[in-house]
Amino acid sequence: MVVELVCVGTELLLGNIVNTNAAFLARQCAMLGLSMYHQSVVGDNEERLKETIRTALDRSDIVILCGGLGPTQDDLTKETAAAVMGFPLVEDAHSKERIEEYFKNSPFKIITDNNWKQALVPEGCIVIDNHNGTAPGIIMEKDGKSMILLPGPPNELIPMFHQDIFPYLNRLQPETIYSVMVKLCGVGESLVETEILDLIEAQENPTIATYAKTGEVHLRVTARASDEKEARKLVKPMLKELKKRFGSHIYATDEATTLEESIVALLKEKNLTLTTAESCTGGMLSARLTNVSGVSEVFKQGFVAYSNRAKRKLLDVKKNTLKTYGAVSEKTAKEMAKNGAFITGSDICVSITGLAGPDGGTETTPVGLVYIACAYQNELRIRKFHFKGNRQKIRELSTVNALTLLRSCILEKETAGK
């Protein structure tokens, strides 16, 4: 079945609000196996909204509209959609009671008259209770088409979708959709795509889709079948093939698992302790690691040695090293990692030093030049990078590549020890 999304609100067109609802709804529809070919954003204008809805109905089986269900005059979605579908508005006693109850339990006891328009619904529609606001959701059905109206605030839309709309859409699309997210690090998007081009060209069921993240590549493998057990069976050979092709570059096959979570789990499994020593990332690496619950079992300390003085004082980087080679150098990164591990008594220390810009670059030390080192017991690995992008992007790339280097050091050490 084909679904189309229409987001309503002039504030979206002006960029005053980021349209997070569209991303959420698109992901959910994909999980349901619905095909989405068009998305629209339209302002609070009745004629343009009518035109948009008519176009969507002509080419789609299901139309989802979000926003414009509130009490104010510019909230036109329900009235306009009902007119296009040919349904008169009638008062829903249940919705009126819920609005009264909502205000009774809120700091604002006075119910202004315009709030009662939210209790008007298209005749014969399915009314969806809003447990986090006053505007109910609405489902209209006619001539084999379904139109779903959702409130705009994400804290209202998301719970309503999960509780009521997802099951409704799943009944319309009876096939079961099952997907697995294969997460890779240490390999670029173009290389990944090249390696799986034959799988993409031959895909039918299951399908495979690539998603580029900062320093990572995610592959979603999706199958549709009559039930989940059958869908899982279809996905299994594809997962086996991807593991064969990418090996240790795969750090997770669970969508919820982050790179840092997989690394913390690895450190715990190997009974290893970790220290970080950062310059240009200013604590971004340690922040990602310490965002993982239970990391205190393995994470000893994080140094943020931004200035040369701090590098000398906190990490015993030699004065001559800084003077001869500079703060952004292989030699400095190595000393930061080696000394950080020694000072804290950790098994591993990862260091980052670089130039994030946008100022300060030279011909020999350009903006984006970053050195990342990993000291693991008696071994030391160093990598040199030339990142592109703004300051934030360079820092993020430095952080994720430090995590990737840390992970590969642990895995390679384990392999070498066998």
Summarize the confidence of residues 309-325 as an average pLDDT.
98
The pLDDT > 70 percentage for the chain reads 98
Q: Of 30-34, 37-41, 413-417, where does the model show the most confidence?
A: 37-41
Alpha carbons 114 and 200: distance in angstroms, whole number = 53
Segment 241-257, tens digit of pLDDT: 999 999 999 999 998 99
Whether residue 417 is predicted with pLDDT greater than 70 in this model: the reply is no
H or E segment at 195?
helix 189-202
Q: Of 109-118, 207-216, 219-228, 332-341, where does the model show the most confidence?
A: 332-341
Choice between 173 and 130, residue whose per-residue pLDDT is larger: 130
Alpha carbons 305 and 70: distance in angstroms, whole number = 52
Q: Choose among 188, 181, 193, 185: nearest CA to 250.
A: 185
| pLDDT value for 174 | 78
Give the distance, in angstroms, between the CA of residue 210 and the centroid of all CA atoms in the same chain.
14
| pLDDT value for 236 | 97
Summarize the confidence of residues 334-349 as an average pLDDT.
98
Under a CB-based contact definition with an 8 Å cutoff, are residues 87 and 124 in contact? yes
Summarize the confidence of residues 47-62 as an average pLDDT.
98
Summarize the confidence of residues 39-53 as an average pLDDT.
97
Whether residue 105 is predicted with pLDDT greater than 80 in this model: the reply is no
Summarize the confidence of residues 252-271 as an average pLDDT.
96
Summarize the confidence of residues 352-376 as an average pLDDT.
96
Under a CB-based contact definition with an 8 Å cutoff, are residues 69 and 147 in contact? no
| pLDDT value for 377 | 87
**Reported confidence tier of residue 416, pLDDT bands at 50, 70, 90:** low
Segment 64-83, tens digit of pLDDT: 999 999 999 899 999 999 99
| pLDDT value for 175 | 81
What does the mean pLDDT of the chain come to?
Answer: 95
- Secondary structure class of 149 (helix, strand, coil): strand
Choice between 31 and 298, residue whose per-residue pLDDT is larger: 298
Its sign, for the CA torsion 405, 407, 409, 412, is negative
Least confident range of 112-116, 201-205, 257-261? 112-116
Summarize the confidence of residues 141-165 as an average pLDDT.
97
Summarize the confidence of residues 138-146 as an average pLDDT.
97
**Reported confidence tier of residue 103, pLDDT bands at 50, 70, 90:** confident
| pLDDT value for 339 | 98
Summarize the confidence of residues 323-348 as an average pLDDT.
98
- Residues in contact with 358: Cβ distance below 8 Å, sequence separation at least 6, in sequence order: 367, 390, 391
Which parts of 163-295 are beta strand (E)? Answer: 176-185, 207-213, 216-225, 250-252, 274-278
| pLDDT value for 279 | 98
The pLDDT > 90 percentage for the chain reads 87
Alpha carbons 319 and 311: distance in angstroms, whole number = 9
**Reported confidence tier of residue 418, pLDDT bands at 50, 70, 90:** low
Give the Cα-Cα-Cα angle 234, 266, 384 (nearest 5 degrees): 100
Give the Cα-Cα-Cα angle 204, 209, 215 (nearest 5 degrees): 160
Segment 183-235, tens digit of pLDDT: 999 999 999 999 999 999 999 999 998 988 999 999 999 998 988 899 999 99
| pLDDT value for 194 | 95
**Reported confidence tier of residue 109, pLDDT bands at 50, 70, 90:** low
Peptide bond into 358 cis (omega under 30): yes
Give the distance, in angstroms, between the CA of residue 161 and the centroid of all CA atoms in the same chain.
18
